[in-house]
C-alpha cells in the first residue's frame, strides 16, 4: 500500500508539496485566478486542474499563474481543436479505434507513466489529422489531473512510421506555437538547436 502513496513523499521533497499547506496554497491560487476573470473568461476552479499548475511550478504562485495563462491562451487559439466544449473522447472514436494513443498499463522503471503514440494505422484520407491533436490534448488533460502523474511525470514514445508530411502540413504553426508556449514557458532558441528549460 505504501507504494500507492509514495508520490506524496516525492512531491513533498521535489515539488514543495506540503500536505499541511496544500489547502491554504490552493485557496491563495484560486483567489489569484479569480482576479483574471472577465466577462469573456471564467477560469476553472477545479481543484485537480489548479493542483496541476501548482505542482508543475513547485507551488510558486507567480510561475503557476503564468503557466495557467499560457494554457488559457492555448485554448483560445482554436476552441474547436483544443479542448472543444461539449465534446469528449467518444466524439473521436475514429481516432481511439485505430489505436494511435496507448497508455501503458505499467509505469516505467523511473515511475513515469508511458504513453505510446503511433501513426502506423493512420490514413490521411479517412479523417483530419487535427482530430488526433484534439484527442491528444484531451488525453493529456485527463492524465495530468492525477497527482501521481503530476509528481512523476509522463514519458512519451512516438513511432513516426506512417506519418506523412501532409499530416504535418495540416497543423497550423499557431497550434505548435501555442503548445510550446504551454509546455515550455522559457525557451532558448539557438541557430541549430532548441533548449527547453522547465
Q: How many CA atoms lie within 13 A of 14 on its CB side?
A: 12
| Residue 28, domain member (yes or no) | yes
The domain boundary, picked from 25, 57, 77, lies at 77
Residue 153 neighbours by CB under 8 Å, 6+ apart: 112, 113
pTM, two decimals, is 0.77
| Residue 61, domain member (yes or no) | yes
Is the same domain home to 3 and 27? yes
Is the same domain home to 15 and 34? yes
| Residue 187, domain member (yes or no) | no
Can you give the residue range of the structural domain that contains 84? 79-174
Is the same domain home to 72 and 92? no
Domain of residue 47, CATH code: 1.10.8
Is the same domain home to 119 and 59? no
Please tell me the total count of domains within the chain: 2
Is the same domain home to 92 and 137? yes
| Residue 179, domain member (yes or no) | no
DSSP H or E stretch at residue 188:
strand 186-189
| Residue 189, domain member (yes or no) | no
| Residue 163, domain member (yes or no) | yes
Q: Which three cell numbers, joined as nine digits, stand for 21?
A: 499547506
Average confidence score pLDDT of the chain: 81
Is the same domain home to 87 and 68? no
Is the same domain home to 60 and 132? no
Torsion angle of the four alpha carbons 178, 179, 185, 190, in this order, in degrees rounded to the nearest 10: -90
The answer to whether 54 and 66 are in contact (CB under 8 A) is no
In this predicted model, what pLDDT tens digit does every residue of 18-69 receive, in sequence order?
989 999 999 999 999 889 888 877 888 888 889 988 998 899 999 999 888 8
Residue 182's pLDDT is: 60
Is the same domain home to 90 and 155? yes
Domain of residue 158, CATH code: 3.40.525.10
In this predicted model, what pLDDT tens digit does every residue of 138-163 receive, in sequence order?
898 888 889 998 888 888 888 888 78
| Residue 181, domain member (yes or no) | no
Is the same domain home to 115 and 169? yes
Amino acid at each position: 500500500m505504501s507504494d500507492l502513496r509514495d508520490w506524496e513523499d516525492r512531491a513533498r521533497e521535489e515539488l514543495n508539496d506540503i500536505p499541511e499547506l496544500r489547502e491554504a496554497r490552493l485557496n491563495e491560487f484560486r483567489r489569484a485566478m479569480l482576479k483574471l476573470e472577465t466577462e469573456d473568461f471564467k477560469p476553472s476552479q477545479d481543484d485537480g486542474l489548479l493542483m496541476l499548475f501548482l505542482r508543475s511550478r513547485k507551488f510558486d504562485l507567480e510561475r503557476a499563474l503564468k503557466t495557467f495563462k499560457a494554457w488559457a491562451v492555448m485554448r483560445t487559439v482554436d476552441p474547436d481543436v483544443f479542448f472543444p466544449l461539449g465534446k469528449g473522447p467518444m466524439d473521436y472514436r475514429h481516432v481511439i479505434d485505430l489505436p494511435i494513443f496507448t497508455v501503458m498499463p505499467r509505469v516505467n522503471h523511473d515511475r513515469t507513466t508511458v504513453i505510446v503514440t503511433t501513426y502506423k494505422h493512420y490514413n490521411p484520407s479517412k479523417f483530419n489529422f487535427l482530430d488526433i491533436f484534439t484527442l491528444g490534448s484531451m488525453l493529456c488533460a485527463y492524465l495530468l489531473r492525477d497527482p501521481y502523474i503530476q509528481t512523476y511525470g509522463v514519458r512519451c514514445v512516438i513511432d513516426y512510421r506512417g506519418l506523412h508530411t501532409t499530416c504535418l502540413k495540416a497543423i497550423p504553426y499557431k497550434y505548435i506555437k501555442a503548445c510550446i508556449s504551454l509546455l515550455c514557458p522559457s525557451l532558448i532558441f539557438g541557430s541549430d538547436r532548441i533548449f527547453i528549460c522547465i
